Amino acid sequence: MGKRGTANLQSSINATDGLGTVSLSAIYAALVVSCIFLPTLIIRKLTAKWTLVFSMLCYAPYIAFQLFPRFYTLVPAGILVGLGAAPMWASKATYLTQVGQVYAKITEQAVDAIIVRFFGFFFLAWQTAELWGNLISSLVLSSGAHGGGSSSNSVNNTITAEDLQFCGANFCVHRVNGHSNLERPPEHEIFEISMIYLSCILAAVAIIAIFLDPLKRYGEKRKGSQSAQELSGMQLLSATFRQMKKPNQQLLIPITVFIGMEQAFIGADFTQAYVSCALGIHQIGFVMICFGVVNAVCSILFGSVMKYIGRTPIIVLGAVVHFTLISVELFWRPSPDNPIIFYAMSGLWGVGDAVWQTQINGLYGLLFRRNKEAAFSNYRLWESAGFVIAYAYATTLCARMKLYILLAVLTLGCMGYVIVEILYRRKQRKVKRQEKDEFDKKEKEKEAEANKTGIDSNVNGLPVSVEETDDELDDLEEDIIVTHF
């Protein structure tokens, strides 16, 4: 909660010299390295429970240094967040999976169903972090003088037409010095927000350290060591690069990079160039709450609807939504007189993000079933690369150029996806033809064998039973996942 709420404010409260976006770029650059090398090693040394405790503490300095924002404080703190994030997510997944297996055995239920249920509860809570984190920041900023809640110097009263002309697609970081809506909030408000977030993190760490059961009784060390031997950091790195040689993986790289870039845009550029510039920093949280809630609802909805309408219509919806939003943002002049438009933009962006997050993850799992770890390592790698790229040029390019880049990457990503879909369907048709040809061949061989041995078979008045077996066909059938398009 604290990290997500803080991240959404970075481009606005630490706008000087692009400090906020540079620190966010450091987080995801470190995350790329951390994903490959650290999770297996740290979980093996500390166990899942204490890896969670250690990793969550890595977030505390980044939030604390909001009170003293400098490049030599926030950037190293951001790197620490990135290094801790990957072990935290890996240990979370390990803990939920192992506890789910134990619970399924105790209750005599299907393991897969229980694990999915446990992850569902987790992600429901995780998605609410967008709501609670942004709600806290907005309430604090709105109640203070910066939000104009009780002050005569209300932000909306001081915004001028000259300031508004530099908002939206015309926004450039180096041209907005002195903008009344982009001034850093008073230090006591930053202090209040940071203390609330820090208290939440420390409370969460204490709850995990004191009340969370360790997994030792279920043989964690033995299983952890075995898994670590099976796939170490260097082995995962090697598998990740081998995965990149696959044509489908190469074709999916652009759309995966776009997923990172569009999340970076809504979290940094949209909040600064549109929301902060026209409405004020105190409105960022409220607008991003809309994004988080719609995103969560649509993620659940699309996951359920896919089995009825297929993947392709949902991805088409996501592409149309983002193409339309980016095009509109190129020409839309944001104004505080129409605040509902900001919420509509944010909510619709959440619809598009939910499409990519659910469907592209599912597509990776479908195409690379035999190499899931390497495939999802590639997914995280290229998604994080998208974040890094977007944050890297955030301080040098104007919003209009960023939107053009998003359009270009989205176009390239959709082209790659279409090719992947065509190749996948062609492969399915080929497999079906092979199955049919194999079946026809077997039938002919069976008929010929029956004709050849028919006389001998009837000597005793009993027909010869020919058992049809085809292990290769069985294996092939098991390997195919039927999807609806």
* Overall average pLDDT of the 386-409 stretch: 91
* Overall average pLDDT of the 467-483 stretch: 38
Rg of the chain over all Cα atoms, to the nearest angstrom:
27
Q: What is the pLDDT of residue 478?
A: 36
Residue 367 burial (CB < 10 Å; 0-12/13-18/19+)? buried
Residues in the chain: 485
Task: Judge whether residue 229 has pLDDT over 80.
Answer: no
Tokens at residue 331, please? Answer: 């020409």
**Would you list the DSSP string of 219-241?**
THHHHHHHHHHHS-HHHHHHHHH
* Overall average pLDDT of the 453-471 stretch: 48
Task: Judge whether residue 261 has pLDDT over 90.
Answer: yes
Tokens at residue 235, please? Answer: 């082995």
Q: Is 207 left (phi over 0), alpha (psi -120 to 50) or beta?
A: alpha
Q: Could you tell me what percentage of the chain is helix, strand and coil, using 3-state DSSP and rounding each to the nearest 5?
A: 85, 0, 15
Q: What is the pLDDT of residue 124?
A: 66
% the chain with pLDDT above 70: 76
Higher pLDDT, residue 349 or 117: 349
* Overall average pLDDT of the 222-227 stretch: 43
128-166 confidence digits (pLDDT tens): 777 777 778 778 876 654 454 433 334 444 567 777 888
Give the chain's mean pLDDT: 78
Q: What is the pLDDT of residue 154?
A: 41
Q: What is the pLDDT of residue 400?
A: 94
Q: What is the pLDDT of residue 414?
A: 96
* Overall average pLDDT of the 28-32 stretch: 85
- Other Cβ atoms less than 10 A from the Cβ of 172: the count is 15
- Other Cβ atoms less than 10 A from the Cβ of 473: the count is 15
Q: What is the pLDDT of residue 163?
A: 73
Contact 140, 191 (CB under 8 A): no
* Overall average pLDDT of the 66-91 stretch: 87
Contact 292, 1 (CB under 8 A): no
Least confident of 104-118, 241-255, 264-278, 431-445: 104-118
Q: What is the pLDDT of residue 351?
A: 93
Could you give phi then psi for residue 366, rounded to 5 degrees?
-75, -45
* Overall average pLDDT of the 460-465 stretch: 49
Contact 171, 12 (CB under 8 A): no
CA–CA separation, 70 and 68 (whole Å): 6
Taking Cα atoms as reference points, which of 243, 215, 207 lies closest to residue 381? Answer: 243
* Residue in the block written with tokens 């029956």: 450
Task: Judge whether residue 315 has pLDDT over 60.
Answer: yes
Least confident of 106-110, 123-127, 354-358, 429-433: 123-127
Q: Indicate the SS3 state at residue 458.
A: coil
* Residue in the block written with tokens 């077996």: 469
* Overall average pLDDT of the 289-307 stretch: 83
Higher pLDDT, residue 454 or 17: 17
List Cβ neighbours of 206 (8 Å cut-off, separation of 6 or more): none
Domains of the chain: 1-144+186-214 (1.20.1250.20), 233-438 (1.20.1250.20)
The conformation of residue 397, written as its DSSP 8-state character, comes to S
Q: What is the pLDDT of residue 117?
A: 66
